Amino acid sequence: MLDLIDLIDVAVKIEANGYEFYSKLSKKVSGELASIFANLAEQERDHIQTFRGLVEKYKNLSPVELSSWADEEVKGYLTSYAQVSIFPKLQSNEVPEKVEDALKVAIDVEKESIVFYGEIEALVPDKNLINEIIKEERKHLADLSKLLSELTK
């Protein structure tokens, strides 16, 4: 049976995979692009710490409190959503050869993460923390979209 901590663990995995993706990408390019991707990797690492902090905060809740916040269907949907829509895009050992293709993957993942975190935000007590991460992910999306636009002109 999934509970709140299980879903926050999924969020930690999303961010960890994002960190790995951006780290690999930063090593594949040079100059300003490398700096941009290294910065994105560090922001993903910060998100990991935020989510881990939530796990620590919630781990002492009773099983009833952890499982009563959402029904099984919602929890199953969210887990499946991450497994189908987010993880496959990030778990490849290789980033795409072309920077433009890597940016498209990153843009898709940021969009999917925003949807996933939006669902979690509606359900957890610490809405402000999740909302801050959503804002940062939206900024990532905007920055990556702008970068892709500039590279494909």
Residues 14, 82: contact at Cβ < 8 Å? Answer: yes
Distances (CA, A) of 110 to 15, 67, 86, 97, 141: 10, 27, 9, 20, 6
- Domains contained in the chain, CATH given: 4-151 (1.20.1260.10)
**For residues 106 and 14, what is the distance between their CA atoms, to the nearest angstrom?**
12
pLDDT in tens, the chain (153 residues): 456 777 888 889 889 989 999 999 999 889 988 999 999 999 999 999 998 998 888 777 766 565 555 566 777 788 788 888 887 877 766 778 888 998 998 999 899 999 988 888 877 777 888 898 899 999 999 999 999 999 888
The predicted model scores a pTM of 0.82
